[in-house]
């Protein structure tokens, strides 16, 4: 007897409840990954290359037994089940709107049960509710209730016998940038290094793009190469000030909050959570938008961030906020254009985190920054990159005639943003 472990955004072997369930169900497990053309089409080229590298690392851990097949999952998964004679298919729940729809289609097409165990979150989306049984709209009370709800300890390690089935071989996908090391082992090593190093100073350094002050684990979390439960357990016995552990825990909770909001409000991928924002006037993306994408707006912190994004597939969180705010409030372009560009380039691209962070910046999210709080990109640079180390790293021509003049006057753009907000009020 066999079971199938269909791996999606959970490309790891440790702390993996669905793997435990698959091994409990049968002594021999088929490790399957499906290259779904519809899903891959939503990935940028470098994200596809990172996925290929992560699959390669996983296949090595499995002694070459990862079965890779291409096609629509509702066709591929039932075919593998028949071929393997499997009695069940095990997955980590995918709680995104597209993932939920796909899993419903696959479950309907399968001759055996599709069994979800666990999710990419410490607390499954939809589980943290107010006393009235309603979802939380605001982060801070969610954080309190989420911590009070608590989570399971990391799942035990299991080593089933991995079934050998023909596959089509691992995908090849070339990156246009230098990718960080992929795979579970690299993620665990990165976490240990951060826990013993930068974590102690995280409350201050997390806001400094000129320092290596953050964990850089978002890519591994997005692919499920490491589970947040592993991080939460490791935080509990880290030798750092309580404030540092609490701050890092709160950032993980933001990730869980956004997944929870999206669970209850799938329309948040495209629609403003604050409905009145549907009336905000926007400019069509034109030359200024192109300058934003290219890192040539003439505002160094914005340009450095956009260049870091395109060159590395990652951008520092503080700078994501500044670049996003600049697009929406200085260039008056709808957040969805920026969100699309981010998804194309981010290796940690995650629709829940990306769309809801954009909504937060654009003032239309559930618990959003108020519209009138408009980042001044120059003041942000002085405060968070005081020695210009970050901007100089990404803009070698800074201070020369080759660096563009500012595309807008910030004070004027700010007044216009406030006027548009005023006109939005009926």
Provide the binding-site residues for ligand FAD, judged by CB under 6 A: 206, 214-218, 221-222, 251-252, 254-255, 258, 317, 320-321, 324, 342, 346, 348-350, 353-354, 357-358, 361
Nearer Cβ to ligand FAD, position 292 or 342? Answer: 342
Nearer Cβ to ligand FAD, position 69 or 320? Answer: 320
Nearer Cβ to ligand FAD, position 76 or 252? Answer: 252
Nearer Cβ to ligand FAD, position 61 or 336? Answer: 336
Distance, CA of 211 to CA of 224 (rounded, Å)? 26
Q: Which residue do the tokens 């935080």 mark?
A: 235
Nearer Cβ to ligand FAD, position 308 or 357? Answer: 357
Nearer Cβ to ligand FAD, position 49 or 339? Answer: 339
Distance, CA of 133 to CA of 131 (rounded, Å)? 5
Minimum gap (Å) between residue 221 Cβ and ligand FAD: 5
Measured CA to CA in angstroms, residue 4 lies from 7, 18, 334 at distances of: 9, 10, 43
Distance, CA of 366 to CA of 274 (rounded, Å)? 7
Minimum gap (Å) between residue 403 Cβ and ligand FAD: 24
Minimum gap (Å) between residue 169 Cβ and ligand FAD: 29
3-state secondary structure of 97: helix
- If you write DSSP's letter for every residue of 239-267 in order, what string do you get? SS-HHHHHHHHHHHHHHHHHHHHHHH-GG
Q: Where are the alpha helices (DSSP H) in 166-299?
A: 184-196, 202-205, 218-223, 228-236, 242-264, 287-294
3-state secondary structure of 138: coil
Distance, CA of 296 to CA of 403 (rounded, Å)? 8
Which among 184, 159, 162, 182 has a CA at the least distance from the CA of 171? Answer: 182
CA 304, 305, 309: angle at the middle one, nearest 5?
115
Nearer Cβ to ligand FAD, position 98 or 109? Answer: 98
Q: Residue 193: which residues within 8 A CB-CB, separation 6 or more?
A: none
């Amino acid at each position: 007897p066999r079971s199938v472990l269909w791996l999606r955004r959970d490309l790891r072997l440790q702390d993996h409840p669905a793997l435990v369930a698959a091994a409990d169900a049968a002594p021999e497990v088929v490790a399957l990954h499906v290259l779904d053309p519809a899903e891959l089409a939503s990935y940028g080229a470098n994200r596809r290359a990172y996925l290929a590298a992560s699959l390669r690392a996983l296949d090595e851990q499995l002694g070459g037994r990862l079965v890779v097949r291409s096609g629509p999952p509702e066709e591929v998964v039932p075919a593998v089940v028949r071929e393997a004679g499997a009695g069940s298919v095990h997955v980590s729940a995918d709680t995104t709107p597209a993932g939920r729809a796909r899993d419903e289609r696959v479950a309907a097409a399968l001759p055996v049960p599709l069994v979800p165990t666990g999710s990419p979150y410490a607390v499954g989306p939809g589980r943290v509710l107010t006393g009235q049984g309603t979802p939380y709209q605001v982060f801070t009370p969610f954080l309190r209730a989420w911590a009070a709800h608590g989570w399971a300890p990391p799942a035990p390690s299991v080593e089933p016998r991995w079934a050998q089935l023909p596959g089509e071989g691992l995908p090849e996908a070339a990156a246009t940038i230098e990718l960080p090391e992929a795979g579970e082992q690299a993620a665990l090593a990165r976490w240990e290094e951060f826990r013993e190093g930068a974590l102690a100073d995280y409350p201050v350094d997390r806001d400094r793009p000129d320092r290596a002050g953050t964990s850089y684990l978002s890519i591994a979390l997005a692919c499920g190469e490491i589970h947040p439960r592993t991080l939460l357990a490791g935080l509990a016995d880290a030798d750092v000030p309580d404030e540092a552990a609490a701050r890092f825990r709160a950032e993980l909770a933001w990730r869980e909050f956004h997944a929870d909001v999206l669970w209850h409000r799938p329309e948040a991928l495209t629609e403003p959570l604050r409905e009145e924002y549907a009336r905000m006037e926007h400019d069509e993306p034109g030359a200024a938008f192109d300058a934003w994408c290219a890192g040539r707006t003439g505002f160094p912190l914005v340009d450095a961030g956009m260049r870091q994004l395109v060159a590395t597939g990652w951008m520092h969180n503080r700078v994501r906020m500044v670049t996003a705010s600049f697009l929406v409030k200085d260039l008056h372009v709808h957040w969805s254009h920026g969100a699309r560009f981010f998804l194309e380039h981010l290796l940690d691209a995650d629709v829940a985190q990306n769309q809801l962070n954009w909504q937060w910046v654009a003032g239309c999210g559930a618990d959003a920054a108020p519209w009138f709080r408009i980042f001044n990109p120059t003041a942000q640079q002085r405060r968070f990159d005081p020695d210009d180390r970050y901007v100089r790293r990404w803009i070698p021509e800074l201070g020369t005639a080759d660096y563009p003049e500012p595309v807008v006057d910030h004070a004027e753009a700010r007044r216009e943003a406030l006027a548009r907000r005023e006109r939005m009020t009926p």
